[in-house]
Structure 1
Amino acid sequence: MQPLFLKPVFKERIWGGTALQKEFGYSIPTEHTGECWAISAHPNGPSVIENGPYAGQTLDKLWKDHPELFGNPKEAVFPLLTKILDANMDLSVQVHPDDAYAKTHENGELGKTECWYIIDCKEGADMIFGHNAQTKEEFIQQAKEGKWGTLLRRVKIKPGDFFYVPSGTIHALCEGTLVLETQQSSDTTYRVYDYDRKDADGNLRELHLEKAIDVTAVPHQGSITVPKTAAKDNATITTFVESTFFSVYKWDINGTFSFASDDTYLLVSIIKGGGSLVHQGKSYKLEKGRHMILPFGFGEFEVNGECELIVSHP
């Protein structure tokens, strides 16, 4: 019983940059690296275990072969995916389906409810979050006429903000934003609008307007979350969301923090600082940019140091 550290998978994106290297020291494949799939069992980019008896195995294989590490779950696939996104340019305006729609239209794929923790962003940054149409007809008309300035809602963001993004929500990260994303394990995205950008071959990127119209919630359902903060010992624990799909927390640790985890497995990302995790007399180094899973029934452990962790579980 020990933490499972994971090797990230990187994805080149038209809107990506080099912030993942500059901020976390990752060895990125290109100067347009947009996504770090940090904890992933999705077939499009499964993480590899780095340490211990399962070193070299992919997370999806571990899920199938050793379900006891995850509490013998009922889900057929590992349900969550943790990413870090470098929005060096505006992302396409998009929307994701729910489980029922994705199962029918995307070969059994999960739907995609997600959430964002803003690690950093440029001064005055904003993002697209929702739309202003009151009826489906109004949404369709404005989308097909390209009235994006009227249709789309923009909200200001700052480092430390958190946004819950249910399936059916129109959204887009904008230029100069670095985000940790917790989501359902899905790679299904319906592009609504892409600023008429062209790919490396000079082609306009594919849009999925008809499917987007099918799944978009109209009117926009404002999913405002109110974080709850509690101080405990040398830690401040912030609860961002506890939903059907996942719960997400931030641990700010300054010193030694004791915790016990028995009834679920935890996905942990170190986003700032460093220290160590001590469990059953063994110490494991925690460094900014590392990601791990604490298995089901992990029990009591300590985190020592000055660090910020994003923690989640199904």
Structure 2
Amino acid sequence: MKNSKQIYHVEPIYKSFIWGDEKLKKFFNLKTSQEKIGTVYHVIGVPGHLDNVVKETGEHLSAFYKNNAELFGVKKDYFPVRMTTTVNSNFQSYQLHPDDKYAFEHENEPGKVSGAVALTESDNVKEMLFGNKATSRQNFREMIDRRDWDNLFDKIKVKEGDFVHTPAGVIHGGYGDGKITSTFGTDGDITYRFYDKDRNDPSRPLNIDAVVDCANIPEISNLGATKPRIEQKENIKIYHYYDVAGEYTAKRIKTIDNCTYHYPGFIFFACVGGSGSINNIDINLGETIFVPREFGKLYFKGKLDLIMISYKD
């Protein structure tokens, strides 16, 4: 049994994408020759594919989770969450993620729900494709075959700093604007694409039949961006983005000096700005730590900007 009062370090994974660029290398001051990094995986536990290593134990995160269930205190059979920082500076593909039922039935893996927020906050507003307007699955397939994107896609407006949750079966993708965003979600790794700008890349196959099967028709109502609930205390500001049992809990914490914080569940913190310490454990830009459940009060020192993910049954 591992120490429930120990803080653990999680080593990041960098992944290059055709739609990535050099911004994340500069943002995190990454010492790597790897090019076009599109995503820094702070927290991910997909066995045999993308699986962070826990520095103190040498275990992959998926194994650390299974071997130390008492540190997490949840009932999931597999590692439950993921958290990344991403930059999309090119065409990403039109895509969706299946729900758990479909993904387990067809891929023997979990599905995925996720959410994202730009790390910058401003009055800038952008429009992005999100969701579909199809009236039936046949109508959906016909519009894909015709590439009738204007009639297929719905759109939402997003102000920088607002949070966008993406349920399973919701179309998203398209052209990125180069903003650095943090993403949170369940730890599924299945993406179904139905248009990829004719790249014909064998590593990025199209899955049109699966997309037609999984798309929400009619689309889920009330999709769109939401403003975070912001909790301001002395020397600490807490952004509450999303908190749904069985999905994920996403927050952001900014500190300006010495302060305290308590959360009963397990926590992953990734530092996306500043530096400091948590209970006398240093945390610097780009680093990720894991705090076991029921750890007790956390003592922050320094000016920190942290993204946070957790999960509850």
Q: TM-score, normalised by structure 2?
A: 0.88
Q: Please say if 1:110 is aligned against 2:110.
A: yes
Q: What residue is the counterpart of 1:249 in the other structure? A: 251
Which among 263, 276, 282 is matched to residue 285 of structure 1?
282
1:145-160 pair list within 5 angstroms: 145-160=146-161
Separation (CA, whole Å) in 2 of partners of 1:121 and 1:208: 35
Report the 3-state secondary structure (helix = DSSP H, G, I; strand = E; otherwise coil) of the residue aligned with 2:259. Answer: strand
CA contact under 8 A between 2:163 and 2:227: conserved in structure 1?
A: no
Q: What residue is the counterpart of 1:305 in the other structure? A: 302
- Deviation of 1:166 after TM superposition, in Å, equals 0.6
- Deviation of 1:120 after TM superposition, in Å, equals 4.8
Task: Specify the code of the residue in structure 1 equivalent to 2:301.
Answer: N
What is the identity percentage for the equivalent residue pairs of Structure 1 and Structure 2?
27
Task: Specify the code of the residue in structure 2 equivalent to 1:17.
Answer: D
Task: Specify the code of the residue in structure 1 equivalent to 2:115.
Answer: C
Q: What residue is the counterpart of 2:88 in the other structure? A: 87
- Deviation of 1:219 after TM superposition, in Å, equals 2.7
The superposition leaves residues 66-118 of structure 1 with CA deviations (integer Å, 9 ceiling, x where unpaired) of 222212x32111111112222121211100110100110012x1110011121
Q: Please say if 1:264 is aligned against 2:269.
A: no
- Deviation of 1:173 after TM superposition, in Å, equals 5.7
- Deviation of 1:159 after TM superposition, in Å, equals 3.5
Task: Specify the code of the residue in structure 2 equivalent to 1:14.
Answer: I
CA contact under 8 A between 1:239 and 1:248: conserved in structure 2?
A: yes
Q: What residue is the counterpart of 1:216 in the other structure? A: 215
- Deviation of 1:57 after TM superposition, in Å, equals 2.0
Separation (CA, whole Å) in 2 of partners of 1:173 and 1:27: 30
Report the 3-state secondary structure (helix = DSSP H, G, I; strand = E; otherwise coil) of the residue aligned with 1:27. Answer: coil
CA contact under 8 A between 1:125 and 1:174: conserved in structure 2?
A: no
CA contact under 8 A between 2:162 and 2:228: conserved in structure 1?
A: no
Report the 3-state secondary structure (helix = DSSP H, G, I; strand = E; otherwise coil) of the residue aligned with 2:64. Answer: helix
Separation (CA, whole Å) in 2 of partners of 1:14 and 1:125: 22
Q: What residue is the counterpart of 1:164 in the other structure? A: 165
Report the 3-state secondary structure (helix = DSSP H, G, I; strand = E; otherwise coil) of the residue aligned with 1:2. Answer: coil
Separation (CA, whole Å) in 2 of partners of 1:190 and 1:26: 30
Task: Specify the code of the residue in structure 1 equivalent to 2:8.
Answer: L
Q: TM-score, normalised by structure 1?
A: 0.88
Q: Please say if 1:47 is aligned against 2:47.
A: no
Task: Specify the code of the residue in structure 2 equivalent to 1:209.
Answer: I
- How many residue pairs are counted as aligned between the two chains? 301
1:168-179 pair list within 5 angstroms: 168-172=169-173, 174-175=175-176, 176-179=178-181
- Deviation of 1:198 after TM superposition, in Å, equals 4.2
Separation (CA, whole Å) in 1 of partners of 2:204 and 2:273: 35
1:180-199 pair list within 5 angstroms: 180-199=182-201
1:272/1:75 CA distance change after superposition, 3 Å: same
Report the 3-state secondary structure (helix = DSSP H, G, I; strand = E; otherwise coil) of the residue aligned with 1:248. Answer: strand
Task: Specify the code of the residue in structure 1 equivalent to 2:79.
Answer: F
Separation (CA, whole Å) in 2 of partners of 1:257 and 1:132: 48
CA contact under 8 A between 1:70 and 1:296: conserved in structure 2?
A: yes
List gaps (5 residues or longer) in structure 1: none
Report the 3-state secondary structure (helix = DSSP H, G, I; strand = E; otherwise coil) of the residue aligned with 1:220. Answer: coil
Task: Specify the code of the residue in structure 2 equivalent to 1:206.
Answer: P
Report the 3-state secondary structure (helix = DSSP H, G, I; strand = E; otherwise coil) of the residue aligned with 1:288. Answer: coil
Separation (CA, whole Å) in 1 of partners of 2:203 and 2:14: 23
C-alpha RMSD over aligned residues:
2.2
